[in-house]
Amino acid sequence: MKYCKRCVLSEKFPGISFNSDGVCNYCSGGLVADDDKKSEYLREFENLLTEKKGKSSYDVIMAYSGGKDSTYTMMLLAQKYGLRILAWTLDNGFLSPQAMINITRMTDAAGATGMIVRPPFGIMKSAFKKAASEDFYSPKTLDRASSICTTCIGVVKSMVLKTAIEMNIPLVAYGWSPGQAPISSAIMQTGARMQVFTNKSVRDPLVSREPEISQFFLTDDDLKSDKERWPINIHPLAFFDYNEEYIIEEISRLGWQKPDDTDSNSTNCLLNALANHIHKKKFGFHPYAWEIAGIVRSGSMPREEGIEKITQDENPAMVKLAAERLGLTL
């Protein structure tokens, strides 16, 4: 298998090409934010907090999974900036028991209000099973996440946005790593036009297979909400220094504990090993390849470590357990 000499993307990744030095076109595309760009976004971020802080019952709604990155982001917003946080969690029926402990413990540590939403397990199970076994998302949608993760994240983003609009919360925070989302989207005004695209790419194909899950997505009527109530999305890890070891060390001091029942690319979800296994088998590349490539490009992870993360086999017991719970035959 041929891999980019600078990041971790392989020849199987969609749209990839290599120059004479073995460097991929994505590495040559100027995707890494320099220190000046990070400083620019940090200033804009802090000015935004000054403008929005104290204007509503909560300053920010945090899409909180209990994983390392969202935990660190929440603690950053609470401890460094003193924001009033509504920590919103989707219990998809497959959260690690340790992740659930972390969610309660770290929400308390942040002085945040917790909101855990647990849709009927039958609906989530059916949606995940269909996402794993059928092809209804576009290949482009699945460049950066597995079909199972796309389903879950789609519900999270829609419900968090809906809650922010209903409660007039001005900011929505995500714990995206620098590899998951570019700095250009680190501070972004939401709106109906952007949501129409999300609905077409995620909501509509999913609801066509699992109609009952529609209740957890913004409706077309929701898109008519007063534009003044649409929040601004933020993901601060794009312009703060990012280091996995440091993040885990910092949040562990506050009581967070790394689960021992999730695969190496997740610190909260029991479905991840199965999701990765299916994606690799179907498409030939790891669903975390894009994210890890971005982290490697930024200098926050050695390339050798990144290669190891996307080439190691999933734990067979974890894959089997998740498949059995979904009722999938592999």
Classify strands 232-234 and 85-90 as parallel, antiparallel or unpaired: unpaired
- pTM of the shown model: 0.95
Structural domain count of the chain: 1
Residue 289 lies in a domain: no
Residue 20 lies in a domain: no
Residue 85 lies in a domain: yes
Report the C-alpha gap between 310 and 305 in whole angstroms.
Answer: 9
What pLDDT does 292 receive?
Answer: 96
Residue 302 lies in a domain: no
* Domain around 60: 35-284+319-326
What pLDDT does 203 receive?
Answer: 96
What pLDDT does 330 receive?
Answer: 84
Residue 45 lies in a domain: yes
Among left, alpha and beta (phi > 0; psi -120 to 50; other), residue 7 is: beta
What pLDDT does 159 receive?
Answer: 97
**Judging by beta carbons within 10 Å of its beta carbon (0-12, 13-18, 19+), is residue 245 exposed, middle or buried?**
exposed
Q: Which residues contact 16 (CB under 8 A, 6 or more apart)?
A: 4, 9, 10, 24, 25, 26
What pLDDT does 31 receive?
Answer: 73
Going residue by residue through the chain (330 aa), what tens digit of pLDDT does each one get? 999 999 999 999 999 999 999 999 999 877 787 889 999 999 999 999 999 999 999 999 999 999 999 999 999 999 999 999 999 999 999 999 999 999 999 999 999 999 999 999 999 999 999 999 999 999 999 999 999 999 999 999 999 999 999 999 999 999 999 999 889 999 999 999 989 998 999 999 999 999 999 999 999 889 988 889 999 999 999 999 999 999 999 999 999 999 999 999 999 999 999 999 999 999 999 999 999 999 999 899 999 999 999 999 999 999 999 999 999 998
- Tokens for 117, please give them: 């939403």
What pLDDT does 120 receive?
Answer: 97
CATH classification of the domain holding 148: 3.40.50.620
What pLDDT does 277 receive?
Answer: 97
Locate all alpha helices (DSSP H) within 168-288, ordered by sequence: 192-198, 204-209, 244-253, 272-283
- DSSP states of 54-99: TSSS-SEEEE--SSHHHHHHHHIIIIIT---EEEEEE--S-B-HHH
Residue 299 lies in a domain: no
Residue 264 lies in a domain: yes
DSSP assignment letter at 112: P
Residue 96 lies in a domain: yes
